[in-house]
Amino acid sequence: MAVGAAPPVDCGGAVVSTAIIDYAANAEGVPDILVATQGFVGVLPTDTIVVEPTATVVVRGGRPIWRGDWFDGGRGYLLNTAMACPDAGIRSH
């Protein structure tokens, strides 16, 4: 884990996919965005995760390949948007 400015996703010229997530009212979130990001399918033990107060970025091989922006929904943090490189293979579910 690294703490600091979360870098933008760098896909080396490939298209960045973006997802905007919507939740039902009073959805329950997570207390720790680092732990939540580590638990996503496709995040490797060798990946570095950069953490800002409301963002996480997965860095693989020195390249930021996935970014999640989070918000506090009142019952924990919820993933608001996610951006990923096509070859990242990271899913939040």
pLDDT tens for the chain, residues 1 to 93: 555 677 889 998 888 888 877 677 778 889 999 999 999 999 999 999 999 999 999 999 999 999 999 999 888 999 999 999 998 999 876
Q: What is the pLDDT of residue 3?
A: 58
CA dihedral 27, 25, 66, 86 (to 10 degrees): 120
Cα–Cα dist 80/59, whole Å: 19
Confidence at residue 51, expressed as pLDDT on a 0 to 100 scale: 94
